[in-house]
Chains A and B, each alone.
Chain A
Amino acid sequence: MASADLWNVRLSVNGVTHDIRVPARRLLSDFLRHDLRLTGTHVGCEHGVCGACTVLLDGVAVRSCLMLAVTADGARITTVEGLTAPDGTLSPVQQAFADCHGLQCGFCTPGFLTTITAALEDNPEPSAEEAREIIGGNLCRCTGYQNIVKAVLRAAELRSAADQAITS
């Protein structure tokens, strides 16, 4: 039966290339969590509403629960594990969440971090209104979002300070 066929999927995840044979129906989120054991990507609703599973696909934020791993074959994926520098230094977005108390239970946080990381690449200086639009597709049941909005703005400041430090 064709549906039992396995497909070779090659993905570069956080800079490491993996070749794994999976059924076509394997979701990208499950590929990351089950096949690669990268459990930083969280799975909340599995129908695209909560945003917890958001990863970067060739730098673009996407829902990993709404994508088949086989569709992503050949792509470069960044998960929350890939945001931190190799020496453990937090990325500006991660640092901003710590600074602003942008999380409580932390379940939704990986999706927020990846979503905001990609959004600040496109718009390095968002307004408070734009910060709300950036996180509009991610659900958090703890914080009430106020500190997450602050974290978006703080992350933009940290990025800009880091850029200036490099330039000077």
Chain B
Amino acid sequence: MKPPPFGYSRPESVAEAVAALGTAAPDGKVLAGGQSLLPLLNMRLATPEHLVDINRLAELSYVRVDDGEVVIGALARHAQVLADSAVGRAQPLIGQALALVAHPVIRNRGTTVGSIVHADPASEMTAVFALLDGSILLAGSSGERLVSAEDFFLGPLESDVRPDELATQVRLPVIGPLAGCAFAEVSRRHGDYAVCGVAVLAELDKAGELCRARAAYLSVAGTPLVLDLSEAGADPAAAARLAKSRVAPSADIHATAAYRRHLAAVLTERALADALAHARERAGG
């Protein structure tokens, strides 16, 4: 249970980090918070040739609300994002989800951008990123590119970051004035990976009627599954039936496929009801 040997560099700037990744490609790996990577190294499930430790890039440890987006730098820890009251007001879904990411001590080190790049199908933040259709900025030797959430997840633990690229920031749209959101999940033990979870965003029209509802599911597919629930209207039970007919989870050591499908329905019902209540409260009545 010790990491295998690896080459190591500790850049002082994004440019240095990108150069180090370029030299190490395709066998380099970025070390940020390390709360997913270190377990993989300790268990020898990952054996990168070279680690590029970005923990000295203080320039990336920001979180801010900017021009209709929450902008999170690659070194912002979950705890820092969760504690940011401006972020909480601008996009409440972020805090609702982060409170369910592992335990407080893990959130002290783990980074939100790292969690998204890691693309674990059980990750809360990948579901939030997919639901809000955020975007991620990647810096590479040939410049920067911005990738939308829709194009970012390629498979379980696989995202569209090239070996010579560093994800430097994630952007998530702020919540609209007539919208509400909620996050619900079930895990075997508090703080564990969720057996199933869902983030819901509900939007009202000016008359206060539901006009659009979308949900993103974790742990039911290899990548975050986004469903449009609008056709079920403001009826959480109908949305639950719709979700149940659309998800196709697989079984593993933690749960059967049927149980996961059942959870997707129950959690959809709860989260949509909560998101509707949240939207009505925010819309003022």
Chain A proximity mask over B1-35: 1 for CB below 8 Å, otherwise 0: 11111111010000000000000000000010011
Task: Evaluate contact between B53 and A48: CB separation under 8 angstroms.
Answer: no
Contact present for A4 and B105 (CB under 8 Å): no
Residue of A nearest to B24 (CB): A2
CA distance A45 to B41 in the complex (A): 13
The yes or no answer to A67 lying at the interface (CB within 8 A) is: yes
Closest to B53 in A: A71
Chain B contact residues: over half helix, strand or loop, or mixed? loop
Instruction: Report A-chain residues with C-beta under 8 Å of the C-beta of B35.
Output: 48, 63, 66
Given contacts A61-B105, A66-B34, contact A3 B7 (CB under 8 A): yes
Inter-subunit contact B106/A63 (CB<8 Å): yes
For the complex, would chain A's binding face be called helix, strand, loop or mixed by DSSP majority? mixed
Q: Are A136 and B191 within 8 A (Cβ)?
A: yes
**Which residue of chain B is the closest to A63 with respect to CB atoms?**
B105
- Answer whether A46 and B5 are a contact pair too, CB < 8 Å, given A62-B105, A71-B53, A137-B105: no
Flag if B109 contacts A23 (CB, 8 Å): no
B61 nearest CB across to chain A (Å): 13
Contacts of A48 in B (CB 8 A): 35, 38-39, 106
Please tell me which one of the listed residues B38, B53, B103, B109 contacts residue A70 in the complex, with CB atoms under 8 A apart: B53
A134 to B3, CA, bound (A): 29
Which residues A1-46 have CB closer than 8 A to chain B? 1-5, 7, 23-25, 27, 30, 46
A23 to B43, CA, bound (A): 18
**Interface bin, chain A:** 20 to 34
Known interface pairs A71-B31, A136-B190, A137-B106; A65-B4 also in contact (CB < 8 Å): no
A115 contacts chain B at the CB level, 8 A cutoff: yes
B96 interfacial contact with A, CB 8 Å: no
> Measured between alpha carbons, how far is A5 from B9 in the docked complex, in Å?
11
From 57 to 78 in chain A, residues with beta carbon under 8 angstroms from any chain B beta carbon are: 60-63, 65-68, 70-71
Check B8–A115 contact: CB distance below 8 A: no
The answer to whether B109 touches A47 (Cβ under 8 A) is: no
A5 contact set on B, CB distance < 8 A: 7-8
**Per-residue contact bits, chain B 95-120, to A (CB 8 Å; 1 contact, 0 not):** 00000001111101100000000000
Asked whether, in the complex, the Cβ of B50 is within 8 Å of the Cβ of A2, the reply is yes
Q: Answer whether residue A131 sits at the interface, using C-beta atoms and an 8 A cutoff.
A: no
Number of interface residues of B (CB under 8 A): 30
Q: Do A119 and B104 form a contact, CB below 8 Å, given A4-B5, A136-B191? A: yes
Return B237 CB to nearest CB of chain A, in Å: 30
From A24, A27, A133, B8 is in contact (CB under 8 Å) with: A24
Is B38 within 8 A of A66, CB to CB? yes
Q: Are A70 and B8 in contact (CB under 8 A)?
A: yes
Compute how far the CA of A165 lies from the CA of B86 in the bound complex, rounded to whole angstroms.
Answer: 37
B51: interface (CB < 8 Å)? yes
Q: Which residue of A lies closest to B192 (CB)?
A: A49
- Indicate if the CB atoms of A136 and B5 lie closer than 8 Å: no
- Chain A residue numbers with a CB within 8 Å of B102 are 137
Q: Complex formed: what's the CA distance from A25 to B42 in Å?
A: 10
29 contacts between A and B (CB under 8 A): A3-B5, A3-B8, A5-B7, A24-B6, A24-B51, A25-B5, A27-B3, A27-B38, A46-B1, A46-B42, A47-B1, A54-B105, A61-B104, A61-B105, A61-B108, A63-B109, A66-B35, A68-B3, A68-B8, A68-B31, A68-B38, A68-B53, A71-B31, A71-B34, A71-B55, A119-B104, A136-B191, A137-B102, A137-B191
Chain B residues with CB under 8 Å of chain A are: 1-8, 10, 31, 34-35, 38-39, 41-43, 50-51, 53, 55, 102-106, 108-109, 190-191
Extra A-B contacts (11), CB below 8 Å, given A62-B105, A63-B105, A66-B35? A3-B8, A24-B6, A24-B51, A25-B4, A30-B2, A48-B39, A66-B109, A67-B38, A68-B38, A119-B104, A137-B103
Which 3 pairs of residues, A with B, have the shortest CB-CB distance?
A137-B103, A24-B8, A2-B7
Q: Which residues of A contact B (CB under 8 A)?
A: 1-5, 7, 23-25, 27, 30, 46-48, 51, 54, 60-63, 65-68, 70-71, 115, 119, 133-134, 136-137
